């Protein structure tokens, strides 16, 4: 079981589409089109991120969303905490609600160590790194795209005369009996 929700991953990808403070605001509908996330879901997520001060939203003409901090200052742990809360750092690998240092499940010691390692890594990865990765992977996908094949048009089937019936088919059971004979 992963400690971060899918929503955290969506928030990271959505925020990688936004410009730094002072940049051109991006419409939520444009972020939704770019990421493939449903607009209503994305709007709720942007609202949650704005509440904790990671993005700024402006309504009206020339409105949209921009990052509240430079992308290099926003780390993945800040985004995860904004979306999932701090509780994700204490969740049991096996999903036990009462697993703790006092009442440890068999995987507790291992998972506590791994959770701490994951948290340290998330603190070291900036949104700027994600943005760069996304831009490079998009460029790579476009550069490696195969040239479009020119498809030959399929020959059109001759039109059936009005009132023509399709050839009669034998029922499946009749075909099986015919093969056995």
Q: Who has greater pLDDT, 17 or 147?
A: 17
Please tell me the pTM assigned to this model.
0.69
Going along the chain from its start, the domains and CATH numbers come out as 6-143 (1.10.10.10)
pLDDT category at 65 given cuts 50, 70, 90 is very high
Mapped to the 3 state alphabet, what secondary structure does 76-142 carry? HHHHHHHHHCHHHHHCCCCCCCCCCCCCCCCCHHHHHHHHHHHHHHHHHCEHHHHHHHHHHHHHHHH
Residue 68 near residue 23, CB atoms below 8 Å: no
Residue 58 near residue 25, CB atoms below 8 Å: yes
> Residue 27's closest CA among 10, 13, 42, 12?
42
Render pLDDT for 105-162 as a digit per residue (tens, 0 to 9). Answer: 999 999 899 888 988 999 999 999 999 998 887 654 444 444 444 444 555 566 566 6
Quick one: pLDDT at residue 143?
A: 44
pLDDT category at 84 given cuts 50, 70, 90 is confident
């Amino acid at each position: 079981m992963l400690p971060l929700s899918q929503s955290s991953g969506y928030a990271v990808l959505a925020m990688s589409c936004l410009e730094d403070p002072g940049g051109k605001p991006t419409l939520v509908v444009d972020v939704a089109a770019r990421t493939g996330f449903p607009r209503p879901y994305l709007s709720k997520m942007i609202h949650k991120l704005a509440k904790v001060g990671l993005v700024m939203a402006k309504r009206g003409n020339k409105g949209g969303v921009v990052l509240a901090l430079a992308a290099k200052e926003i780390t993945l742990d800040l985004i995860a905490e904004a979306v999932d809360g701090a509780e994700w750092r204490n969740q049991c690998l096996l999903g036990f609600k009462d697993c703790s240092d006092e009442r440890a499940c068999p995987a507790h010691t291992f998972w506590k160590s791994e959770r701490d390692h994951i948290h340290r890594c998330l603190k070291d990865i900036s949104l700027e790194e994600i943005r760069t990765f996304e831009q490079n992977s998009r460029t790579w996908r476009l550069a490696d795209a195969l040239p479009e094949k020119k498809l030959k048009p399929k020959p059109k089937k001759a039109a059936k005369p009005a009132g023509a019936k399709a050839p009669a088919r034998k029922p499946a059971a009749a075909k099986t009996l015919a093969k056995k004979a």
